[in-house]
């Protein structure tokens, strides 16, 4: 192994489309105010479904950002990724040109890719025949096209790949991009996740697994991580993309730095396709902290995976206790999913964005709907109201179907 010191990595640009708003600023403001992005499904007639709620993008109009031809030829998950990436690049003030294009890459993934396009063309195939399937079906459906479209839009020609690790996709994408910069394979990376999964097939599939909340009469109260009365997660949609840069070059060009990314851990449970294994989740957190070179006692805040499902919230609580020991009782923990639902492949990257903003703004967003404490979830989940607090070091957790685990460690540059 090389003895060359690993390069430091800064987060310099943020872009997001969430159920709380179009853009990072609006999403963050509403998150800190404890507002909910969960409501009745409007994208299709869900009246026959036992689940009639979701966290949809409310005010996003692709025509405000993309030309008509691009909209016609791409799936919603690609459109979300393109817009979030453009926001992040603009926020970072990053210019891609002939002098640096080969040193700037893209790692953007998705849980399942263009499922809207897939479902639409499947119906066309069944109802109208082979000749009516769109010539844009395949490029609209395959998962790596979000990364490909972003690279083509901005001119990046460095390392590019697509991560597909279910609900850990966004965090793994950022972590993999982080490593590429650390090891001098790139100077800047555009990284994140995107999903457009509010479709009948997805809602029906997740509901048949009994994974979704059926609290249809109180949508804004349906997602309630760590609460005793939780009954499942709320499926959501959106995208989160960050710009990562080698720290010294970012500072030289005068870029603002939201936080420094200092650690990344990932592993797999090898236990069950849906049931979590808290011991391996704890090992993932320890791997991330070890990679960052910080002690458990140094952690000020954890942005939890916090899905609002029975097994997952208990497992994550146990993992945090095992990884942080006695300090787990002192660290602030919150789940953004209580307000934005579960954005699947975009969850980890959107939550990483909110973690960076927590560090930068010294505000910890709340875990909403935490009304009846669960005896098995007995840590500090910042219930129902945002908290002002200096956060130097934070963890962002993501755990996915198939037993995949990922954790990111960030640090304030002001420490």
Contact criterion met (CB below 8 Å) for 210 and 274: no
Same domain assignment for residues 43 and 165: yes
Same domain assignment for residues 13 and 111: yes
CATH number at residue 338: 3.40.47.10
In a domain, 385, yes or no: yes
Same domain assignment for residues 277 and 219: no
In a domain, 1, yes or no: no
Same domain assignment for residues 171 and 280: no
Active-site position among 154, 342, 370, 377: 342
In a domain, 139, yes or no: yes
Rounded-to-integer distance, Cα 299 and Cα 348, Å: 19
Contact criterion met (CB below 8 Å) for 341 and 38: yes
Active-site position among 111, 162, 167, 377: 167
Which residues have CB under 8 Å from 95's CB, separation 6+? none
Same domain assignment for residues 287 and 231: no
Report the chain (415 residues): mean pLDDT per 10 consecutive residues: 81 98 98 98 97 96 97 97 98 97 98 94 94 93 97 98 97 98 98 97 95 98 98 98 98 97 96 85 98 98 98 97 98 98 98 98 98 97 98 97 96 82
Helix locations, 240-325, DSSP H: 247-252, 278-292, 310-324
Domain final position from 219, 252, 285: 252
Q: What is the pLDDT of residue 212?
A: 98
Same domain assignment for residues 232 and 345: no
Q: How many domains does the chain have?
A: 2
In a domain, 257, yes or no: no
Write the CA distances from 407 to 318, 322, 387, integer angstroms. Answer: 15, 15, 23
Contact criterion met (CB below 8 Å) for 390 and 234: no
Same domain assignment for residues 235 and 285: no
Domain final position from 229, 252, 275: 252
In a domain, 234, yes or no: yes
367 is in which domain, residue-wise?
262-411
Same domain assignment for residues 80 and 118: yes
Q: What is the pLDDT of residue 1?
A: 45
Same domain assignment for residues 65 and 195: yes
In a domain, 384, yes or no: yes
Write the CA distances from 219 to 36, 41, 223, 235, 309, integer angstroms. Answer: 9, 10, 8, 12, 16
In a domain, 105, yes or no: yes
Q: What is the pLDDT of residue 95?
A: 97
Same domain assignment for residues 138 and 42: yes
Q: What is the pLDDT of residue 3?
A: 65
Instruction: Examine the residue annotation and report whether 305 is marked as an active-site residue of this protein.
Output: yes
Same domain assignment for residues 170 and 210: yes
Name the 3-class secondary structure at 243.
strand
Same domain assignment for residues 266 and 244: no
């Amino acid at each position: 192994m090389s003895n060359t010191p690993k390069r430091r990595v800064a987060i310099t640009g943020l872009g997001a489309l969430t159920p709380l708003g179009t853009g990072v600023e609006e999403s963050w403001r509403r998150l800190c105010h404890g507002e909910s992005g969960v409501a009745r499904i409007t994208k299709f007639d869900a009246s026959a479904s036992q689940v009639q709620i979701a966290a949809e993008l409310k005010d996003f109009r692709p025509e405000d950002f993309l030309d008509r031809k691009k909209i016609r030829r791409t799936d919603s998950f690609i459109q979300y990724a393109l817009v979030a990436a453009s926001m992040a690049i603009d926020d970072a003030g990053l210019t891609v040109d002939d002098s640096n294009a080969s040193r700037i890459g893209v790692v953007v993934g998705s849980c399942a890719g263009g499922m809207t396009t897939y479902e639409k063309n499947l119906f066309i195939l069944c109802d109208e025949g082979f000749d009516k399937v769109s010539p844009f079906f395949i490029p609209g459906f395959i998962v790596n096209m979000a990364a490909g479209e972003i690279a083509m839009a901005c001119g990046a020609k460095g390392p590019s790949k697509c991560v597909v690790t279910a609900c850990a996709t966004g965090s793994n994408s950022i972590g993999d991009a982080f490593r590429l910069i650390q090891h001098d394979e790139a100077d800047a990376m555009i990284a994140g996740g995107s999903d457009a999964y509010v479709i009948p097939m997805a809602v029906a599939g997740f509901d048949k697994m009994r994974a979704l909340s059926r609290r249809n009469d109180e949508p804004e109260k349906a997602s309630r991580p760590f609460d005793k009365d939780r009954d499942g997660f709320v499926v959501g949609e959106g995208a989160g993309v960050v710009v990562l840069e080698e720290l010294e070059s970012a500072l030289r060009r005068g870029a603002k730095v939201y936080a420094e990314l200092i650690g990344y851990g990932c592993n797999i449970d090898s236990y069950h396709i849906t049931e979590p294994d808290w011991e391996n989740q704890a090992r993932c957190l320890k791997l991330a902290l070890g990679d960052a070179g910080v002690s458990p006692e140094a952690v000020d805040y954890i942005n939890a995976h916090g899905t609002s499902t029975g097994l997952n919230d208990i497992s994550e609580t146990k993992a945090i206790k095992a990884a942080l020991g006695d300090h787990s009782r002192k660290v602030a923990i919150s789940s953004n999913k209580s307000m934005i639902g579960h954005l699947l492949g975009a969850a980890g990257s959107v939550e990483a964005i909110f973690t960076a903003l927590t560090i930068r703004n010294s505000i910890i967003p709340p875990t909403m709907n935490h009304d009846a404490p669960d005896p098995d979830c007995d840590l500090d989940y910042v219930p129902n109201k945002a908290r002002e607090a200096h956060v130097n070091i934070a963890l962002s957790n993501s755990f996915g179907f198939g037993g995949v685990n990922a954790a990111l460690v960030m640090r304030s540059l002001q420490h």
